[in-house]
Amino acid sequence: MAVTGDETESAATGDVSAYQLRNPSSCLPQDVVMAGVHGPQQPTEDASRRRELRLMKNREAAKACRQRKREYMNYLETRISILEKENMTLKAKMQYQNVHSI
């Protein structure tokens, strides 16, 4: 796999995310209210903790979601090959019946 663990590690430790780096306007945690007039404020400890918890849960949810999707796609591909075989068998059977006028 192409995972070094660095990304996961940095995300888990609350470093600046890739998204924040490429989209500076979104650098503020969603659930931290910033007061406009007095400039940027530090997120409270509790807000940061809640954000990290939310990101961690969403990270796990996304992994589970992708795993389910992979399994479903595998199921569909298996189903396709089964139905294709079935279709070929039925076609062969029809051809046989036509040739022998059954």
Partner DNA sequence: AATGCCTCCCGTCAGGTCCA
Partner DNA sequence: TGGACCTGACGGGAGGCATT
Q: Can you give the binding site for DNA, defined by CB under 7 A?
A: 1-4, 6-8, 11, 17-20, 22, 26, 29-30, 55-59, 61-66, 68-70
Q: Report the candidate in 57, 8, 2 with the shortest Cα–Cα distance to residue 17.
A: 8
Residue 6 or 102: which CB sits closer to DNA?
Answer: 6
Residue 65 or 94: which CB sits closer to DNA?
Answer: 65
* Closest separation in Å from C-beta 83 to DNA: 22
Cα 26 from Cα 34, distance rounded (Å): 12
Query: Taking a C-beta distance cutoff of 8 angstroms, is the pair 37, 31 a contact?
Result: no
Interacting residues of 50 by C-beta distance below 8 A, sequence separation 6+: 31
Residue 74 or 95: which CB sits closer to DNA?
Answer: 74
